[in-house]
Amino acid sequence: MNGKRAFAADIFGKFGATAALGALRVKFSDGITILAYHRILDVDSEHKFPFDIELVSASVQQFTHQMEYIKAHYQPITFSTLLQYLDRGENPPRGAAIVTFDDGFLDNYHNAFPILKRLGLPATIFLSTGNIDSQETFWYEKLSFGVMTTDASTVSTPTLGTLTISSSPESRRALIKRVTLKLKLAPDEVRLAALDALYAQLLPSWGWKNDARSGPMNWNQIKEMSANNIEFGSHSVSHPVLSRVTLPKLAFEVEHSKHRIEAELQKPVQVIAYPVGGVEAFDNNVRAAVKKAGYRFGVSYVAGIERPDQWDAFALRRVHVERYVNSHFFKAMLAMPEIFI
């Protein structure tokens, strides 16, 4: 994936061009770089990993190097700090960067937080509060575990038809990708009915709660992080695609998640990251509900770097960090986002 761009990044990196361009960008641009991570995890064998491997953004070592680079070359801030600048009518510092994580995976606490704390870096974590409350892992993780580990050779649902599950891990991953994509775009009640049917066939004895392999952090861990420079935002309650739910459910998802975090942390929640986050995930209804609930920013999963004088505060773009991003590619993405993201 991204082979040509990774190759170009290697070439740039070897000749030192990325570092020079990165320094120029920080010096002359007003851009704000919002980095998007999900999980920070060391995976021994991708073949055997039963959860969504695409959500592993970096190993512990990769993340350490990336944060050291951010600390050396950027001005890491949070959305709250950004709002303070904007509300005073000032520009954020040159080279402002916001490190974000979606979902609220337990490994953010065990693996990312110690590194952030050691380096003195702030970050923002977007929580799906229903999972924090229930301590159940996220629906796409449960689906992934079901497909990767099931003994069933076929499953069928009215929406998805009959699906053949072959023995190879690669084809199972491809199947997860297809099913997840289809369910994300379906009306929410269709997604939930299909998931129930799939879980019943794939995971007749599902008893998974959270542990290091997949699952959410808990409120005590969140409070500890909140007291140590980590900001929390909403990622809805149950991680539906917000543009696919009914209006009452939309209001509940954006309001209740905000209130839950505020009640636990006694701090205002001013930013939401739209679950899934592509352009199809936040329509005008979603934006209206988010504004009505009192959010100041809506963060998407669309790729890009933002400028405060040009941005749409309810469609902020991010730079995605994926596990195949080596250090040259990381620097190239930040220095030349027009080419590398």
Q: Interacting stretch for Zn ion, rule CB under 5 A, among 41-49, 97-105, 253-261, 304-312?
A: 97-105
Whole-Å CA distances, 106 to 41, 174, 251: 10, 26, 27
Q: Interacting stretch for Zn ion, rule CB under 5 A, among 16-24, 46-54, 201-209, 273-281?
A: 273-281
Q: Interacting stretch for Zn ion, rule CB under 5 A, among 62-70, 98-106, 221-229, 324-332?
A: 98-106
Nearest-approach distance from CB 140 to Zn ion, in angstroms: 8
Q: Interacting stretch for Zn ion, rule CB under 5 A, among 5-13, 154-162, 267-275, 319-327?
A: 267-275
Of 272 and 335, the one with the shorter C-beta distance to Zn ion is 272
Cβ atoms of 271 and 299 within 8 Å: the answer is: yes
- Residue given tokens 């930040």 in the structure block: 334
Find the binder of Zn ion among 74, 78, 102, 281 (CB under 5 A).
102
Of 71 and 182, the one with the shorter C-beta distance to Zn ion is 182
CA torsion sign, 170 to 176 to 179 to 180?
negative
* HEC profile of 137-205: CCHHHHHHHHHHHCCCCEEEECCCEEEECCCCHHHHHHHHHHHHHHHHHCCHHHHHHHHHHHHHHHCCC
Nearest-approach distance from CB 186 to Zn ion, in angstroms: 17
Binding flag, residue 103, Zn ion (CB under 5 A): yes
Of 103 and 141, the one with the shorter C-beta distance to Zn ion is 103
Query: Could you tell me the maximum CA-CA distance found in the chain, to the nearest angstrom?
Result: 60
Of 12 and 126, the one with the shorter C-beta distance to Zn ion is 126
Indicate the DSSP class of residue 105: B
Of 103 and 306, the one with the shorter C-beta distance to Zn ion is 103
Of 38 and 172, the one with the shorter C-beta distance to Zn ion is 38
CA torsion sign, 85 to 91 to 94 to 98?
positive
Nearest-approach distance from CB 296 to Zn ion, in angstroms: 20
Nearest-approach distance from CB 38 to Zn ion, in angstroms: 7
Q: Interacting stretch for Zn ion, rule CB under 5 A, among 65-73, 101-109, 188-196, 242-250?
A: 101-109
Binding flag, residue 141, Zn ion (CB under 5 A): no
H or E element, residue 25: helix 17-28
Backbone conformation region of residue 256, classed left if phi is above 0, alpha if psi is from -120 to 50, else beta: alpha
* CA neighbor of 141 nearest in space, from 190, 213, 232: 213
Binding flag, residue 253, Zn ion (CB under 5 A): no
Of 126 and 314, the one with the shorter C-beta distance to Zn ion is 126
Residues that bind Zn ion (CB under 5 A): 102-103, 275
